[in-house]
Structure 1
Amino acid sequence: MLADLVQLGQDAAKLAAAPLWPLADDEITACLGAAHRLEQTAAALQMRLVRHAELRGVPAAEGHRDTISWLRARLLSDRGPARELADRATALARRPDVEQALIEGRADARQAIAITDALDNVAEGLAELDQTTTAEAAEITEQATATLIEMAGRLPAVQLRRVGERILDHVAPHLAERAEEIALAQQEARAHRVRGFTLSAPAAGIVRLSGSLGLEDAATVQAALHALCSPIPGDEQRPAQRRADALVEVCRLALRTGELPESAGEPAQVAVTVGFDPLTQALGAATTETGARLSAETARRLACDARILPAVLGGAGQVLDLGRSQRLATTSLRQALTLRDRGCAFPDCDRPPRWTDAHHVVSWTAGGPTSLDNLVLLCRQHHRLMHHPTSGWQIHSAADGRPVFIPPPAVDPTRRPRRNLFHPRK
């Protein structure tokens, strides 16, 4: 078998490197389907091999605490894909009919897992019903299996999972309502047990988020994010980008309330270390508590609305002097800004005060004072814009003390001053 697999891999490698330009359009489509079929068959073989390795105790014999760590070492895999492979191998082992459908190409790996999850829910619900015998439950499960495998020929995994949640409506409608009630209760309890949230180590400036929530918790998160995810005219961000910004804004609001529990005796906060050149009065790159590096531009933006703790470091990094912490925008000053600007002051932005930072018109690091005349409320998006070195936007204080914005020539060749007309004025 090993020799056959090695040969198959070599043949597949030759096909992957073969020129594709001689193929007709229909041949490209047909080859894509065949390649996908080959991938799914290989996935089925991987799952079977993993399962047999588990049954024989191979991971433990090689000194690993579980199958996931064994797969990570053997396949040089990240934890997420390793866990997914181990979980799929266990799931398919319980459903040989679904495994055979995967091998024969009647379902792909994602569809197969959607089917096994649905069948597990069916089995849990039927097991709690007094009016079903073991034989009847087995017959219903068999019908559900056949129906879902047949539907896999028409529906992708996402839709198949939705249908699977109501499969008893198709094969046993007289039991569907009660069995679904039981299955949902068990599903909610299981979701609560397996819930989790992780942030990956930074890679190329990106931290990946992954996790699992129950339906109730997910609805709460979606409700919190929804208000901040609405498209803004002229906003070309993707929905996923708007959701990412909304998640950060919700967390920023929570930090700003001051109601979060303390951490190590300090209020919950983002802490960074920033280099400062006293000769040029310029900030350098910043380092977070986790060791992540942030650009000097980000450091300047953070310094606009942050608590600053000055520290003098020697050449070897030792602390020579530690100043007293002070808040740049005091509570009373923040209230004055809210009364004046009513929210983000950028022209026609609708973000309310609680979603804004206090931005220094003349940078604090350049000697700008922390005063009402030198501060303006900006939402995170427009705060980034004003700190971008090539944005071209300028801010001035008008005779009435309110900020006015001067657009760059690319936005308005005449550079006429603009104000926010959205926030109501008394």
Structure 2
Amino acid sequence: MQLPAVADVRRRGLGHPPRSHATACPKVEALELRLAAEADRRTVGDRVGATDTASWWSHETRQDKPAAKRRMRLAESLDRHTPTSAALAEGAISVDHARVITDCVDRLPGDLPDPSIPERAEKHLLTEALDLDPRSLAILAKHVLTVVAPEIGEDRDARALEREEREARANAWLTMCPDGKGSYRGKFSIPTMQGAMLRKMLLAFAAPKHQAATKDGDAEQDQVERRPSPERMGDAFCELIERLPAHELPKLGGLNASIIVLLDFTGLKSDIGRAVLETGEPISASLARRMACEAGLIPAVLGSRSELLDLGRTARPFNGAQRLGLVLTQRVCTAIGCDWPAHLCHAHHDDSWLSGGETNMDKARLLCPRHHARIHDPRFETMIHPDNQVTFHMWT
């Protein structure tokens, strides 16, 4: 195969920004992928000083680098799967179909007793691709061995599915952070089962009947019906979080994993003012009042309802009321320069319990796990400052 000059490649499609899979002709996509594979064989990226061919392709076509790498992997895979490559070149299947088929065949175990099984699996998936969309084809591909080699496939597919589930759980992740504009933003990846559970919960809240039941007036109901699905799902996620019973959640720092809101009595009664979360982030007084309708209120002046703030020598661990008092008054780890949040800190006795110290609030402080270990380390000298913060100095 003659590799066209760069200018010619651009005219033929490889050098232009890629069109979406929904609009691009599969034949053109197939040609671009063949050219990309040939460019990789010729190490075009190395010749122009790029990290690799995918990086060169990304730069030349102004496409996203991760997308270019995914397309390059597909191009390399199509080189090994002639039937799928031919079907794509003929326009019989889409690029998404081709990706599903090549990924499935490439994932097949290498110790299959019959070397013809991968070829049979590829042909079976190509046949099914004529009638299925890529998503449905991907579901079918998960148990392709059961279809093409039932004598071994059922057991192999079951083990592969279990392995996939274990890996998905082990690789689950979530990131979130405040954006400084009154919202938190984040991303996550969770296994299929938990993802389906979460989706079902959100749909229950986002369903039009539920939305209509929680709104007043026909105009509001019409607005609910017309709102885009992502917005309804966002509302549903907020409602799901608000409805989680705090008393059933695991303990966090000796307390239920609930948010503490600081609000004076005037703000609670009026339409103005603001409240402050234990993290220091502000919320409106109106939101705090709305949440107060469904949540238990804990007065900021602790010690009510006969909750003991000073236990003396009756118990070593700090109780829930004392933990709450420490969270409200100290907010973060008391070591200077440490911003570890209060709900993840340990409660420490300034006067050691073993030396006769009492479990009282005036001799208690919050320390993160690292600084709590350091305060008990004899190699360090501890100094408590007038503002109740603490510093550490290593003995020389």
TM-score (normalizing by structure 2): 0.49
